[in-house]
Amino acid sequence: MARKKPWAGRFSASTHPLVEAYTSSIAQDARLAQWDIIGSIAHAKMLGKARLISRADQQALVGGLKHLYKVAGAGRLAMDPSLEDVHMNIERMLVERAGKAGERLHTARSRNDQVALDTRLAAREGLVELCQHLLALQRAMAQVAHKHQGVPMIGRTHLQPAQAVLLSHHLLAYREKFGRDSERVLTALAAADVSPLGAGALAGTTLSTDPHYTAQLLGFDEPASNSVDAVSDRDYIADAAYASTMVLVHLSQLSEEVVLWSTEAFGYIVLPDAFSTGSSIMPQKRNPDVAELTRARAALAVGDLAGFLSLLKGLPLAYNRDLQEDKHALFRTMDFAARAAEVFAEMLPRLRFDPARLKAGFHEGFAGATDLAEFLVGQGVAFREAHATVGRLVRDLEASRKTLRDVRLAQLAKYSPHFTAAALKGLDAKHSAGRRASHGGSSHDSVTRQLDRAGAQITVQLKALRDYERKVQKARSLALK
Catalytic residues: 158, 279
Give the integer Cα–Cα distance in Å for 478 and 213.
13
Q: Which of 439, 457, 477, 435 is CA-nearest to residue 150?
A: 435
Which helix or strand (DSSP H or E) is residue 352 part of?
Answer: strand 352-353
Distances (CA, A) of 297 to 6, 34, 171: 39, 27, 22
Report yes or no: 104 and 47 within 8 Å, Cβ to Cβ.
yes
Phi-psi region of 49 (alpha: psi -120 to 50; beta: other; left: phi over 0): alpha
Give the integer Cα–Cα distance in Å for 20 and 1.
13
Q: Within 13 Å of residue 34, how many CA atoms lie on the same side as its CB? A: 18
First to last CA, the chain: 37
- List all residues 6 or more positions away from 433 whose beta carbon is below 8 Å from its beta carbon: 152, 153, 164, 165, 166, 169, 442
Q: Cα torsion at 381, 386, 389, 393 (round to 10°)?
A: 120
- List all residues 6 or more positions away from 86 whose beta carbon is below 8 Å from its beta carbon: 25, 26, 29, 30, 32, 33, 36, 79, 118
Give the integer Cα–Cα distance in Å for 400 and 368.
18
Distances (CA, A) of 379 to 367, 383, 416, 438: 20, 10, 11, 18
User: What sign has the CA pseudo-torsion 61, 62, 65, 70?
Assistant: negative
Give the integer Cα–Cα distance in Å for 232 and 318.
5
SS (H, E, C) 55-100: HHHHHHHHHHHHHHHHHHHCCCCCCCHHHCCHHHHHHHHHHHHHHH
3-state SS class at 110: coil
